[in-house]
Amino acid sequence: MSYPNYKPGLEGVIAAITKISYLDTEKEQIIVRGYDLIELIEKTSYIKVAYLLLYNRLPSDEQAKEFEKSLMAEAEIPDSMYQLFSLMPKTTQAMDALRTGISFLAGYEDPDFLMDTSTKANEAKALKILAKAPTIAVNSYRALKGMPFVRPNRELGYAENFIYMIKGEKPTATEVDTLDKILTAYIEHEMPNSTFAVRVVASTLSDIYGAITSAVASLKGPLHGGANEAAMKMFLEVLSLGGVKIAEKYILEKLARKDKIMGFGHRVYMKKYDPRAYLLKDYIPKLAHLRPEGAELAQIYEIIAKVMEREKGIFPNADYPIALLYYLIHIPIDLYTPIFLCSRIAGLAAHHIEQHENNRLFRPRVIYEGERDLHP
Ligand code: ACO
């Protein structure tokens, strides 16, 4: 049976009227609050775009500095959260630890303030989640790996402190700049599954901690944010099986088995280049020297992209170059998707706020194909 009104996966269905962002596939632009995201990545910083998303205006340098300071002042988490991380089973996955951590944070809010859906209250809670998420992501991961905690250093910048906590030492300027660009590239992207999850939860007038917790669960999946980790594992598998020499054969065999190639394809721009991927691929050769195998990985990157274009007419999405960029700056693979989530909090929070500003409960219907008239 086919149903004209049913769109599997809600493909093409309009779920919201928004002033936050839009994927203009005709102009190959990702519009974020009126700006082209690619220009924002090139000319501004993560902090500035996060501010733009939360407060609907691009800040001056001074305002951005103040905003970063207020985020760093909120970056520490309660001691009981470090205990919570130590109690987690070592089999816990990093995204699940982050999900638990963000959910746990809700308990520290005054109950009335937690449920306050005003823009002011939502902005204040969003700032706390944005500030604390990197501390939760990195230190829950550290606990799972049996590594000592590295508490946030409020003297550092947001991206700088993020890598500092991951590595336990001050990062280089290249590492900070690369992470800042990755965070900005990931910051907001219209209505992906995780943003939809936030909107659906927010529409019940539930709180922002719950809404963002649902987004963590959504983003974890390999068809969504988890693709960056899966793409890196594929690069490393190609390398271990013979590298450049076998890369084409490896992909052709996967396609023959009808396997999905992770980091390729996108519901909105399936047959077009994701502008973020187009920009970020140029950073790969520049950073290849940071790993002995970097130059070969950069070649494998190109080979796989060419085979995918030739065989399927499908292009890389942002996860494909970002996976390799993370690897080149020595970020552990288990943290790829948690970092993606942290970067996206500014966008998710903007959607939560906008949903509460003009709310109607999400409650769709179904086509029923089950039985009827049975009796117990
Ligand atoms: N590798 C191989 N073939 C693909 C891929 C891929 N990565 N993506 C799409 N296709 C093919 C499908 O096999 C299908 O071909 P067919 O019509 O011959 O059967 C066609 O393209 C349409 O694919 P669908 O899966 O139906 O497209 P959908 O819009 O539902 O899925 C998705 C989009 C999930 C992103 C898909 O492209 C995919 O699975 N990609 C790999 C995972 C990935 O990289 N996800 C990250 C998305 S971006 C992000 O979240 C940051």
Count Cβ atoms below 10 Å from residue 73 Cβ, excluding itself. Answer: 12
Which pLDDT score is estimated for 297? 98
pLDDT, tens only, 8-24: 999 999 999 999 999 99
Mark out the alpha helices in the chain (DSSP H runs).
37-43, 46-55, 61-73, 79-87, 94-105, 111-114, 119-144, 158-167, 173-186, 193-202, 208-220, 227-241, 244-256, 275-280, 283-287, 294-312, 319-328, 336-357
Mutate to test the pocket of ligand 1, among 260, 272, 320 (most ligand atoms within 8 A of CB): 260
Residue 215: which pLDDT band, with cuts at 50, 70 and 90?
A: very high
Residue 266 domain flag? yes
pLDDT at residue 114 is higher than 80: yes
CATH number at residue 288: 1.10.230.10
Residue 287 domain flag? yes
313 in the same domain as 201: no
- Residue nearest ligand 1's atom 28 by CA: 267
C-alpha 107 to ligand 1 mean position (Å): 38
Residue 119: which pLDDT band, with cuts at 50, 70 and 90?
A: very high
Q: Is 220 in the pocket of ligand 1 (CB under 6 A)?
A: no
Which pLDDT score is estimated for 7? 95
Which pLDDT score is estimated for 273? 85
C-alpha 23 to ligand 1 mean position (Å): 17
176 in the same domain as 233: no
Averaged pLDDT, 301-314: 97
245 in the same domain as 98: no
Measured between alpha carbons, how far is residue 284 from residues 154, 243, 297 in Å? 30, 17, 9
349 in the same domain as 302: no
103 in the same domain as 68: yes
Catalytic residue among 189, 224, 266, 356: 266
CA-CA-CA-CA torsion for 351, 352, 354, 360, nearest 10 degrees?
110
pLDDT, tens only, 329-341: 999 999 999 999 9
> What's the mean pLDDT when you consider all of the chain?
97
Averaged pLDDT, 23-29: 93
44 in the same domain as 112: yes
Q: Is 319 in the pocket of ligand 1 (CB under 6 A)?
A: yes
Q: Which atom of ligand 1 is nearest to the CA of 193?
A: 50
C-alpha 263 to ligand 1 mean position (Å): 9
pLDDT at residue 245 is higher than 90: yes
Q: Which atom of ligand 1 is nearest to the CA of 265?
A: 37
Which pLDDT score is estimated for 268? 93
pLDDT, tens only, 55-95: 999 999 999 999 999 999 999 999 999 999 999 999 999 99
Q: Is 9 in the pocket of ligand 1 (CB under 6 A)?
A: yes
Which pLDDT score is estimated for 324? 98
- Residue nearest ligand 1's atom 30 by CA: 267
**Domain range spanning residue 307?**
227-328
Catalytic residue among 319, 351, 352, 356: 319
204 in the same domain as 242: no
Whether residue 103 contacts residue 136, with contact meaning beta carbons closer than 8 Å, is answered with no
Which pLDDT score is estimated for 2? 81
| 266 counts as catalytic | yes
pLDDT, tens only, 170-190: 999 999 999 999 999 999 999
Q: Residue 281 and residue 350: Cα distance in Å, rounded?
A: 28
Count Cβ atoms below 10 Å from residue 83 Cβ, excluding itself. Answer: 10
323 in the same domain as 271: yes
Location of structure tokens 């959260």: 81
- Residue nearest ligand 1's atom 46 by CA: 224
- Please list, in sequence order, all residues whose beta carbon lies within 8 angstroms of the beta carbon of residue 373, skipping any fewer than 6 positions away: none
Which pLDDT score is estimated for 143? 98
Mutate to test the pocket of ligand 1, among 264, 307, 311, 344 (most ligand atoms within 8 A of CB): 264
Which pLDDT score is estimated for 33? 98
Last residue of a domain, one of 310, 328, 346: 328
For 76, phi then psi, to 5°, come to -70, 150
348 in the same domain as 320: no
Q: Which atom of ligand 1 is nearest to the CA of 254?
A: 2
Measured between alpha carbons, how far is residue 35 from residues 26, 44, 56, 164 in Å? 16, 11, 11, 30
Averaged pLDDT, 368-375: 97
Total number of domains constituting the chain: 2
C-alpha 259 to ligand 1 mean position (Å): 10
Read off the DSSP letter of residue 19.
S
Q: Is 266 in the pocket of ligand 1 (CB under 6 A)?
A: yes
318 in the same domain as 239: yes
182 in the same domain as 109: yes
Q: Is 146 in the pocket of ligand 1 (CB under 6 A)?
A: no
Which pLDDT score is estimated for 106? 98
Give the 3-state secondary structure of residue 29. strand
Which pLDDT score is estimated for 100? 98
Which pLDDT score is estimated for 271? 81
Residue 214: which pLDDT band, with cuts at 50, 70 and 90?
A: very high
Instruction: Calculate what percentage of the chain has a pLDDT beyond 90.
Output: 97
Q: Is 254 in the pocket of ligand 1 (CB under 6 A)?
A: no
Q: Is 10 in the pocket of ligand 1 (CB under 6 A)?
A: no
pLDDT at residue 230 is higher than 80: yes
| 375 counts as catalytic | no
Q: Residue 293 and residue 289: Cα distance in Å, rounded?
A: 8
Residue 270: which pLDDT band, with cuts at 50, 70 and 90?
A: confident
Which pLDDT score is estimated for 244? 98
Residue 11 domain flag? no
Specify the pTM. 0.96
pLDDT, tens only, 124-139: 999 999 999 999 999 9
